[in-house]
Structure 1
Amino acid sequence: MNKLKLIPTCLFIVLCSLPLSLWSAEESTPASTEPALNLEDHTKTLEAAEKRLAIKTSTTELLDPIALEALAAGQFAATCISQQEAEQAKVKQGLDSIGTAAGTATTQEDKELQTKRKDLDQQKKEVETQLAQCRLLALKATQIQEQVSANKQAIVKERLFARSPSAVSFILQTLQEPSLWATEIQQIISTLVALPINYRNLSIALMYGLAGLLVGLVWSFYKQHTHSQQEITELVKTSPTLASVWRSIINFMPWILGFGLTSLALHYNHPGVTAINELASTLFLFMISYVIISAMLRPATKSKDFTPVIPATSKKLYYWARIFLLTILLGLLFHSTLFDTDPPSSLVGLIRVVLGTFASLALIRLLWLLRRSVPWLQQYRLYILGAVALVSAIVALWLGYRNFFVFLFNGTFGTLFITLVAWLLLRIPTEMFDGLDEGLAQWQQRLRKRLGIENGQRVPGLIWLRLAHAMAIFALMSLALLRLWGMSEQSMQVMLTKVMDGIQIGSFTLEPMRILIGLLSLAILISLTHLIKNSLSNHWLNRTNMTRGAKETTVTIAGYLGIILAILIGLSIAGIEFTNLAIIAGALSVGIGFGLQNIVNNFVSGLILLFERPIRKGDWIRVGVTEGYVKDINIRSTVIQTFDRSDIIVPNSELIANQVTNMMLSNQYGRVIIPVGVAYGSDPEQVLFLLRSVGEANPAVLREYGELKVQVFFRGFAESSLNFELRCLIKDVEKQMMVTSELNIAIEKAFRIAKIDMPYPQRTIHIASDSAPLKTVQKPTTKTEDLS
């Protein structure tokens, strides 16, 4: 069963039971029927926005509508400018085609041209007037946006560095008036008791949380008892990090669903107290963080990216995590507006200082404990940066800069959380990509087989998918961090608009989104190309009468065409204009004329090899002193694998210009020639018969093949032997050495049975002596012959 099969089912059941009031509220929302604003409407809107902007305000909420209006007007002005400039160019082209006036019109044709020229002149004035108004609107929109941004920065700066009484003043006030504590404690209790809670919405949210908790318990129990070891092993091969996170999700799913559904229900049904929403959201985020950190500290397999934590450190982490969570929850409550009084309560102020200090110290301690178990946390010194920021926040809190403390604390904790999630989203797909390159899991092996990728070969086009994935994760991480550290919604929308529409750099427009989509398209098209190549090679071409070489050529050419089309389509989607590529091609032609002749020569030779097919993949060839099998034919070079399994890269130009011996060009037949010597005194006719019989008895030898049938010859008389020769044609030239060995063994056996001796060199020595007559002694001498 699929690992994620039960989660969508549970969520679907729970979400379908949302109150009908939510759905009815959405359905009752009328569709926007407002007509599109024109230039005059946007101008009036900006004039009204300038008047509202002149009124001094202390809240950024009043500035947000003005910023949105200015942004909409700016977008309309940009569209208007582009349209009017195109219209202006069109009118100018019409005037240029007509030409200038030639005095008084004398003919009917001149009168028509003059009338047409007047119409175009009038149209030109109207377009220029409209273009000027659009540019003025764009200028006003830009000015208002800049003023809104400046006002927001001033308000945020004023809020951020607004100083309240310091911790020392609270302590002194408490020491001077000890009786205030009892009064302030009663005020805190009365505030907590009299909270304006909407108990109906709160009870609904708690019911959703309880339902999620029960569903999570059932699902977790089911998964823990049905998760087979084979599924776990397959998941570990797919991604060890994903396996660790999945195991943590199974263990903590009840709490994740419980807090998540509670927070979601409170978001749509406000409980009346904002602090309750913040508490539920904090618990949900804490559980997500705990799941990720638990997966990192208790990995499913050994990994260089995190080290399993020892039991002593685990206890410390658990202890400080509880302190951190408790202080955060209490801090959210006491930092809410419920306890903002005038004059400020000294007891509440001290509680805020103490809770903020303990929460910061607990987070510093957690970072310090995690630094050895999470290498990337120590590699980039994030724990030091976090500790410095939190210590600065504590100092600001004690000095009375409560808003600055909240800004630093939330920014530090949020940065760590975003970095943790980004690392997870970056790590899991990276491990999957690595597994695809190596074929670790079964589904990865099936996919590689489907794409026709051999063992040890990387998945083509996957590098572009890796690049696009990394760019997307870092872009999302950057946007989240910018929003966390105070970038306004208006600035975020402007930046996203520039990302979508492009950033103008001189005459070049950089469009990051189109580049990302282009990279994704390139990766997908390259993978699709290899899928088509594999289908051609293994299925489609097998149903044709094409030869093996023609099939390989078709597959190779299809692959190159697919790669070229993928690159062109990817560049087109990324926004690269091909007119610029023509300039680059012109520059390359100059380079070809000077230093790239060899590359072009090899390229053209590669095309000749593909179309003419003098050699094919798998052929046994000999090029000079190089002999072996053709392993691969590329555009620039050909790879030959020798008999000792070494690869030799030969430029294609050498295969075209030099002599090449192809043992397998027209067929697989090969010649075997075996010289045989027998001793003097042997019957030549018997030797010829035995040699012919041995040749015809071997199953690999072609017995009758026209003029190339088995042939035996008596070659001549040597010093010590009668020389014969066996010549035969074999079916497969690749078995030449093996057939030669078999024939030699058969010849020796036949000669031994027929008692035909193999010769050895002989010498006749005459010994001269005065006392004894000459004797003839035949002394055998050994002579080593290289039969290889």
Structure 2
Amino acid sequence: MLLAMWTIPLLAQASGLQLATANDTLQTIHRGLSQHADTRQLQNWQKSVTAIGHDADVCMTEKNSNLSQTDKALGILGPAVAGEPENLTVLRQKLQNEQKTLSGELATCKILAIASADLGRQIREQRDALLAQMLLRHDHDIWQQAVALLSTPATTWIAERHFWLTWNEHSIFAQKGLQLSAGIGIFLFALLSFLRVPLAKAIHRTRDLSDTQRNFYHYAPLLGGVAAAAASSYITDTFSPLIALIFGTWGTYAAISMLLAWALRSSGIVSRHFSWEQQTLRSALRTLRFIALLSLFGLVWIGISPQDPLSAADQAFFVSAYHLVLLSAVLWLVWRMGVQKPFRSHPLPRMVLLLALIATAICTLSGYRNLSNYLFFGLLTSLLALSMGFLLSWGLAEFWMRAAQKSGFWQHFLRRRLRVKEDQPLPWITWFSTISYTAVWLGVAAFVLHAWGLTHTGFTLIWKYFITGFTIAGFHIQPFRWVIAAILLAILFNINALVQKYLSDNSRIINHMESGARHSVLSILRYTGFIIAVLIALSTAGVALGNLAIVAGALSVGIGFGLQNIVNNFVSGLILLLERPIRVGDWIQVGNTQGYVQKMSIRYTLILTFDRTEVFVPNSELISGQVTNWMYTNSVLRLMIPFSIAHDADIPLVKQLLVAEGQNHPDVLQDDPRGIPPTALLLDVSENALQFYLRVYLDDCNKSYNVQTDLRASVVESLLRHNITLAHQQQDVHIIPGRILPMDGNMAPPTGEH
């Protein structure tokens, strides 16, 4: 049976890699590298080589596993023995043949893995060299581009004019559909401009609009007019390239201008973080509007340019001029805003950015078009991504801050649905805010990497390593599993907290317990849930829990040297929670510290003293030292209140008065089996006074000081009413005249007078 378990998987497995086909593909690519190949061909070859390398790695893993199983099966069979059954001999021969076959296939897979890795390196080197050559290629400078543009044939200019000004074989200005569309757009723009103020007051029913509302109604006429004209032009089939360029640019420009005006208003998000003056905000808004208009014009033009009759060489001058104008606007913005807070405190990044913009302009002027396009797109896209990242982060910060507040309809709705009290924060806010910030900046990073040339293949490779993982120093790491583990850990922590809250507030399971017992149960459940959540998260991340024994062995050395106090407190905390010699709410004394136990954690115990100071006592001191717990078995407390009475007092009367005052106090136990009724005791007769004690028992030791104050006051008043004098410490002094020292210090002779 055991031999069958070893051999059946071997017979059922088949090779997932076509070795011969992979070898032929690698040889074809190797021969093609010796010839001229463009970047697209190199990229396709790189994909093929990467796939073969991955298959080779999978093949080696499978063959190693199969070969290991075969070796174990042969080890179980052992060497051939004379007279053994024939079926064992056949099985051994079959396993030996399988071992040879697997060894040969494993060697082939290793060779393919090495060859694919080497070939992939050669392809990357050749592709990098080709990209560097293309990037540094020198074309016509801007003057030569202008000369080439002027030498463009007249037929090309006629076709260019026909492309922009003609639609459906008719001039766009003579088409009634376009005239109707323009009229509709202008009419709607004028109507909304005239009605925006009364319309806003009628909708919001207030005379004082917020800055956001005023900003929206300011740009609403332009947005409405452009949208109506564009829709009408599309319906009437007059949406020519020129109309698409105009409407696409102005419509998007109006929307972006509205967002910029909202962000750069005096009470906007930028002003709150940068504290800029109103003049600086207006200057930045004007420059950003101009940059937005140029950028949108360029984006729409890029979408239309493939249909343009002008070739790429003919358009080179326009592209260069466009780059220079847009670079000048960005350079002006960086220069002007760089002297404002907080940028002026970081001059180095500003100078680097200015030099990069100037270098891009120089490349544009000198004719390095590819390098200029690379720097132009990379710099402007990176600036746009970073700006959007900061704006979104600030907006999210304000959103989550408002979410944590009590006011608001949806906050009240969530609190009501989640059964959260008004004075408690909404759950999961911290996790959601962290996830949103992470998503924003991951998007910014991806946008910046794409701007600097990271292609779809690069993102695919990053995603592949993110999902399948990579190996470092023999340890395989899968980032995707770690992310899932972190999310799962957060979810389990919150579930643990919700369970704790439910048990402490609503559950009937532990409500019958006293407060100290409930606290111990909840603490044990909390730490148990914490340990289970961590173990589940580690298992999800791919950490072998069996290896934790090795980690524990390594930690034992550190525990023996530097962590012994922490571990001592941890173990002591477990003992306190399980044995419960101290509970939350007990009045205890540890050394010179007295107070109520406010909280018991796994490492320390919090004691609140009478002067409202909070003392953190390590749990090890509560286990190893002497602790006085006034409330361990019950909260009954015995008080011995002393009174010093003069020697000439009536002793039976004093005892009667003390007992009477003790019996009159409502907090003193009278006929209770937990204590003794009030008693007056004469325990000492000194040279100064008769020392009486009033012995009483209280049902709650928390009332000790208040009861002592009341009893002392009432007893003193009762004694005074019965003319009983309280004794005070006194001392008799006897003067011997013959022994008086004069002022000069010499002993005076006795005079015989008294």
User: Please, which of 447, 459, 481 is the counterpart of residue 492 of structure 1?
Assistant: 459
Kept in 2, the 8 Å contact 1:471–1:516? The answer is no
Structure 2: which amino acid aligns with 1:609?
A: L
Q: Deviations over 1:572-630 (max 9, x none)?
A: 22222234322221122233345544444333322221111111122111122222222
User: Structure 1 pair 632/385, CA: closer, same or farther in 2 (3 Å)?
Assistant: same
Give 1:196 deviation, angstroms: 9.3
Q: Which residue of 1 aligns with 2:740?
A: none
CA contact (8 A) 2:668 2:697 kept: yes
Distance in 2 between residues matched to 1:248 and 1:67, nearest whole Å: 52
- The one-letter code matched in structure 1 to 2:83 is T
| Structure 1 residue 666, shift from structure 2 partner | 1.3
Which amino acid is 1:647 matched to?
E
Q: Which residue of 1 aligns with 2:76?
A: 97
**Paired letter, 1:120:** L
Paired with 1:172 and 1:628, the residues of 2 have a C-alpha distance of 93
Output aligned runs, 1:118-517, within 5 Å.
118-135=93-110, 138=113, 142=117, 145-146=120-121, 149-150=124-125, 152-154=127-129, 156-170=131-145, 188-194=160-166, 280=248, 287=255, 291=259, 294-295=262-263, 298=266, 306-332=273-299, 336-337=305-306, 341=310, 344-345=313-314, 349-371=316-338, 375=342, 379=346, 382-424=349-391, 426-427=393-394, 443=411, 474-517=441-484
AA at the equivalent of 2:75? D
Residues 712 and 726, structure 1, Cα contact 8 Å, conserved in 2: yes
Please tell me whether the aligned partners of residues 426 and 473 of structure 1 are also in contact (alpha carbons under 8 angstroms). Answer: yes
The alignment partner of 2:274 has SS state of coil
In 2: Cα distance, 1:157 partner to 1:164 partner = 15
Deviation at 1:295, TM superposition (A): 2.8
- What one-letter code is carried by the residue in structure 1 that aligns with 2:600? I
Instruction: State whether structure 2 residue 565 is matched by structure 1 residue 565.
Output: no
Identify if the C-alpha distance between structure 1 residues 484 and 342 changes in structure 2 by more than 3 Å, giving closer, same or farther.
Answer: closer
The residue number in structure 1 matching 2:749 is: none
Contact map agreement 2:139 2:369 (CA 8 A) in 1: yes
Distance 1:247 1:638 in 2: 57
Contact residue 607 and residue 616 of structure 2 kept, 8 A = yes
CA positional deviation for 1:88: 2.0
Contact 1:167 1:398 (8 Å CA) reproduced = yes
How has the CA–CA distance of structure 1 residues 451 and 163 changed in structure 2, closer, same or farther, with 3 Å as cutoff?
Answer: farther
Which AA in structure 1 matches 2:97? Q
Matches within 5 A, 1:102-121: 102=81, 105-108=82-85, 111-121=86-96
**Counterpart of 1:640 in 2: which secondary structure?**
strand
Equivalent pair of 1:396/1:402 in contact (CA under 8 Å): yes
Q: CA deviation at 1:361?
A: 1.0
Is 1:644 paired with 2:611? Answer: yes
* 395-404 vs 753-762, which moves further: 753-762
Is 1:704–1:710's contact at 8 Å kept on the other side of the alignment?
no
Match of 2:57 among 70, 78, 89: 78
Matched residues in 2 for 1:590 and 1:681: separation?
A: 74
For residue 560 of structure 1, report the CA deviation from its aligned partner: 1.2
Comparing 587-596 with 149-158, greater Cα deviation is found at: 149-158
**Matched letter for residue 328 of structure 2:** L
Does structure 2 retain, via aligned residues, the 8 Å contact 1:297–1:308? no
Alpha-carbon deviation of 1:557?
0.9
Task: Describe the shift of the 1:248–1:740 C-alpha distance in structure 2 as closer, same or farther (beyond 3 A).
Answer: farther
Counterpart residue number, 1:20 = none
Residues 671-710 of structure 1 correspond to what in structure 2 (within 5 A)? 671-679=638-646, 682-706=649-673, 707-710=675-678
- In the alignment, the residues of structure 2 paired with residue 733 and residue 258 of structure 1 have an alpha-carbon distance, to the nearest angstrom, of 80
C-alpha distance in 2, partners of 1:60/1:654?
72
Return closer, same or farther for 1:136/1:357 CA change in 2, 3 Å cut-off. Answer: same
Residues 1:88 and 2:88 aligned together? no
Query: Given the alignment, which residue of 467, 470, 493 partners 1:526?
Result: 493
- How far residue 256 of structure 1 moved from its aligned partner, in angstroms, is 9.5
1:785 is matched with none
Distance in structure 2 (CA, Å) of the matches to 1:80 and 1:256: 60
d(CA) in 1 for partners of 2:696 and 2:36?
Answer: 105
The whole-number CA distance in structure 1 between the counterparts of 2:393 and 2:356 is 26
TM normalised by structure 1 equals 0.73
Secondary structure of 2:628's aligned partner? strand
2:519 is aligned, of 532, 545, 552, to: 552
Check conservation: 2:606, 2:615, Cα contact below 8 A. Answer: yes
Q: Residue in 1 aligned with 2:5?
A: none
Q: Distance in 1 between matches of 2:115 and 2:129?
A: 21
Tell me the residue number matched to 1:21. Answer: none
1:173-198 per-position Cα deviation (integer Å, ceiling 9, x unaligned)? 78xx7x9899986564334225799x
Q: Name the CA shift for 1:39/1:765 in 2 (closer, same or farther; >3 Å).
A: closer
User: Counterpart of 2:696?
Assistant: 728
The alpha-carbon deviation at position 545 of structure 1 amounts to 3.7
Counterpart in the other structure of 1:747: 715
1: CA distance, partners of 2:323 / 2:69: 66
- The number of aligned residues is 697
Aligned-pair CA distance for 1:163: 3.6
Q: Is contact 1:553–1:611 with CA below 8 Å preserved after alignment?
A: yes
Aligned partners of 2:137, 2:166: CA distance in 1, in Å?
29
Report the identity percentage.
Answer: 27
For residues 62 and 278 of structure 1, the distance between their equivalents in structure 2, rounded to whole angstroms, comes to: 39
How much does 1:482 deviate? 2.0
Q: Compute the displacement of 1:132 (Å).
A: 4.3
Contact 1:622 1:628 in 2 (8 A): yes
Worse-superposed segment, 38-47 or 567-576 = 38-47
**Which residue pairs with 1:50 in the alignment?**
29
CA change 1:161–1:601 in 2 (3 A) is: closer
Cα distance in 2 for partners of 1:593, 1:247 equals 69
1:458–1:90: structure 2 CA closer, same or farther, 3 Å change rule? Answer: farther
The residue type paired with residue 450 of structure 2 is: R
* Conserved? CA contact 1:452–1:534, under 8 Å: no
Q: Distance in 1 between matches of 2:271 and 2:312?
A: 56
Instruction: Tell me: CA distance 1:45–1:518, structure 2 relative to 1, closer, same or farther (3 Å).
Output: farther
- Asked if the contact 1:450–1:531 (Cα under 8 Å) also holds between the matched residues in 2, the reply is no
Residues 570 and 619, structure 2, Cα contact 8 Å, conserved in 1: yes
Secondary structure of 2:280's counterpart equals helix
* Preserved contact between residue 674 and residue 725 of structure 1 (Cα < 8 Å): yes
Q: Shift of residue 426 of structure 1?
A: 4.7
Q: 1:521 to 1:329 in 2, by over 3 A?
A: closer
Question: Structure 1: any 5+ residue segments left out of the alignment?
Answer: 1-35, 233-243, 770-788
Q: Which of 601, 619, 624 lines up with 2:591 in the alignment?
A: 624
Pairing 1:538–2:505 present: yes
Q: CA deviation at 1:252?
A: 7.6
Contact between 1:245 and 1:292, CA under 8 Å: does it hold in 2?
no
Partner Cα distance (1:81, 1:115) in 2: 27
AA at the equivalent of 2:165: V
Give the drift of 1:383: 4.0
The aligned residue for residue 772 of structure 1 is none
